[in-house]
Structure formats: structure tokens, C-alpha cells
Chains A and B, each alone.
Chain A
Amino acid sequence: MVNLIWVGLAAIGIIYSFFNGTVEEVNEVIFTSADEAVFLCISLVSILVFWLGLMKIAEEAGLLEKLAHFFKPIFKVVFPDIPPNHPAMGYILSNFSANIFGLGNAATPLGLKAMKEMKKLNGDRPEASRSMITFLALNTSSVTLIPTTVLAIRMKYESVAPTEIVAPTIIATMISTIGALLIDRYFYYRRTRGVMM
């Protein structure tokens, strides 16, 4: 899919430029934009290093566990199929907390462990269980406290207030997460009643 989009953008652009008389512009932009991307990545280094460093401290200090503990009562309701003290619940909570801290690298292995435990709970069947689908809904709606990379790009292009998007982002995230959970519930009840679409 990404392959198609990628080739599509370039191919349509090049063909369109033949008819539109913009071949020169296209020629120029091929080289300037590649340059630009390299500089962008270099400027991403500063903020990624800073935040991942800071979040590492948060992790070591036990803030991740604190956060997980805080969310535990909510997650008992969100994942009714998982016994509250099952290791799956622990991994789900830590994955969620790592996502909040923007620790993508730490969140993924925790998420994979959560998946493995949920698969065991589901009798090792190769199909997605109810909790797995809920877990994915939670992950795809992305719960982030600080959108690090976006901030870095805003700074690179000299925004006068790069951080003013943080609060709106958190609110949008919360709405999409709640929405995702409601949709998940809806599909679950439709499945169990056996209603066809």
C-alpha cells in the first residue's frame, strides 16, 4: 500500500509535469528536497535525544509503574476478560504507560508480551480475541503526552510557539481513544448477538 502511494505520487507528478510544463521545477525539487530531508533528520536528533533521555529517567524512577497503577481500575472495566492479576494485564498497563511517555521503543516489546499472554488466555488459537481487539484499538488511537517528533519539526521551521499544539493534541487523543473503545464495544456486542453487517 505504501509502495503504491509512494510510486504513485512521484509517477503522477512526473507525468503531470510533462503536460503542465513544470519539468524544470520538478527537476530542481528532486535534489533540493532530498537535501532538505537530511537536514530535517539532523534537527530531529536534538529533540529525540532530549526526550528519550528524559523519559529513561522517568522509567528508572518508577513513574511508568506509578502511572500503570493509576490506570488499573479503569483497565479492569476496559478488559473484562482478563483476570486483574494476570500478567497480561500488567503488560497492557505498562505498554499504555510507555505510550503516554512517548517511549515507542519500550512500548512495543511490552505490547508484544501483552499479546502473547492474551493469546495464551485465548487457548493459543490463531484468531484475535476480544481483549486483543480492544488492545489494538487502544494502541491505534495513540495516547501520547508529548508529540516529540512533531514538536521537533515545528521548531525546525521556526514556529513562534512550537508547543501550543500540545494541549489540543492531548484532547484529540483522549477523544479518539474513548471513541475507539466505544466502537470496539459496539462491534463486540454485535458479534456476540450474531447480527450480520
Chain B
Amino acid sequence: MIIQISNWIIPLLILTILLYGTYKKVPTYEKFVEGGKEGVSIAVSLLPFLLGMVVSISIFRASGAMDAFVGFLSPLLQLLHVPSEIVPLALTRPISGTASLGVVTDLIKNEGPDSFIGKLASVMQGSTDTTLYVLTVYFGAVGIKRMGDALKVGLLADLIGIIASLMICYAVFG
């Protein structure tokens, strides 16, 4: 059921936007091209971030250090029903969005996009945001020096996002 809805959401959203835009007399094609140009520059500017992180993770994995690390943690994680492969993602997600995108890529590539880990990584990456980045950008720009509880709240929210992703993935794909 949820899988069906997932397949419908995107075509329906596209249809709504296109028809509503036409109804509102938006120059649809021109605006599409204008917005799309931003996409090109985003993808290009992502390249160094992704490349750096992907190479670093690949070294860690190829050396066998990743397996050793995961094996070391697995008894504890088994107790909590957390697949150990997901740990690197859960740890990098709050710190850096591009870094965690590198981790997601690595997991999807090596475990397969349709494996449980691949789906879990996809949901986790999509449902949380990079707390430290948001905090730095928003508070930095307006000169807030005392953050109050913001960091604690942000990190706890990430933890909830991670737990929620786990539970939902077990319920839907488990």
C-alpha cells in the first residue's frame, strides 16, 4: 500500500504543478529552464565534496577497517535491532550533508538500492537534515553567539529521525 502510494506521489505532483502553472499563466517552459539551470550548478558544486568523501570511505572499506569496526559494534547493535552497516551514516548525518550523501552512495552501491540497508539509508538521508550546518549558517548570518538549547534540540531531533526511519523501514520493508 505505502509502496503504491510512493509510486503515485511523484507523477501526481508533477501533473498538479504543470496544470496549476498553466492555469496561473506561468511561462512554464521558460521557468522550468530557469530553475533547471540552478540544478546544473548544484550538481557541479557537489562534485569535490562527494569525490573527497567517496574516496575516503572507499579506502576505509577496501582496507577491511570498516568490517572490523562493524564487527566490533555488532553485538550491541543486534541487541537494539540496528543493522550495523547503517552506523556510519547515522554518525555523519548531523555533521555534514555532503559527507553523509557520500556514505549513502557507498551503501546503495555496495548493498544494492533495493536491499533493506539501501532503502533504510535512503529514508534516513531524506528525513533528517544536517543540524550543524543549519545551526552555523542561520545563527552565523545574523550574529547569534549564544545558541541556548538549539544544539541539544537539533541533535535530539536527528536521533528521533534516525529511530523513526528504522521503525518505519522495518514496518514497510522488513
A and B found bound together = yes
Q: What CA separation (Å) do A57 and B22 show in the bound complex?
A: 9
Are B54 and A132 touching (Cβ within 8 A)? no
Contacts of B156 in A (CB 8 A): 179-180, 183
Write the nearest CB–CB distance from B26 to chain A, whole angstroms.
5
B126–A144 CB distance below 8 A = yes
| Residue A84 lies at the interface, judged by CB distance under 8 Å to chain B | no
Interface range on chain A: under 10, 10 to 19, 20 to 34, or 35 or more?
Answer: 35 or more
Contact B104 A150 (CB under 8 A): yes
Report which of B38, B92, B108 forms a contact with A154, defined as CB distance below 8 A: B108
Contact with A along B7-32 (1 / 0, CB 8 A): 10110011001101101101010011
Rounded to whole angstroms, the CA-CA distance of A126 and B144 in the bound complex is 5
- The complex places the Cα of A164 from the Cα of B122 at a distance, in Å, of 10
- Which residues of chain B have C-beta atoms less than 8 A from A48's C-beta? 39-40, 42-43
Question: Are A5 and B129 closer than 8 Å at their CB atoms?
Answer: no
Task: Determine if A172 and B129 form an interchain contact, defined as CB atoms under 8 angstroms apart.
Answer: no
Collect the chain A residues with CB atoms within 8 Å of residue B52's CB. Answer: 6
Contact partner, A54, options B17, B58, B104, B139, Cβ 8 Å: B17
User: B39 contacts A52, CB within 8 Å?
Assistant: yes
Q: Known interface pairs A9-B59, A154-B113, A176-B164. Does A137 touch B157 (Cβ–Cβ under 8 Å)?
A: yes
Q: Quick check: is A162 within 8 A (CB to CB) of the other chain?
A: yes
Q: How far is the CB of A132 from chain B (nearest CB, A)?
A: 7
Among A34, A105, A133, A180, contact of B160 (Cβ-Cβ < 8 Å): A180
Tally A-B pairs: CB < 8 A. 361
Assembled-state Cα–Cα distance A32/B44 (Å): 19
Q: How far is the CA of A133 from the CA of B94 in the complex (A)?
A: 17
Instruction: State whether A26 and B62 are in contact (beta carbons under 8 Å apart), knowing that A140-B154, A164-B119 are contacts in the complex.
Output: yes
Q: Could you tell me the distance in whole angstroms from the C-beta of B4 to the nearest C-beta in chain A? A: 9
CB distance from A138 to the nearest CB of B (A): 9
Closest chain B residue to A99 by CB distance?
Answer: B129
Q: How many angstroms between the C-alpha atoms of A44 and B128 in the bound complex?
A: 20
Taking a contact as CB atoms under 8 Å apart, the answer to whether B146 and A146 are in contact is no
Assembly CA distance A82 to B166 (angstroms): 35
The answer to whether A168 touches B6, judged by C-beta atoms less than 8 angstroms apart, is: yes
Of all A-B residue pairs in the complex, the 9 with the closest CB atoms, nearest first, are A56-B35, A147-B126, A142-B129, A176-B161, A159-B113, A180-B157, A48-B39, A53-B36, A179-B160
Can you report 17 A-B residue pairs in the complex whose CB atoms are below 8 A from each other?
Answer: A2-B96, A9-B56, A10-B59, A45-B43, A48-B39, A112-B137, A112-B141, A137-B150, A139-B129, A142-B129, A146-B13, A150-B104, A164-B7, A171-B168, A177-B157, A179-B156, A183-B157
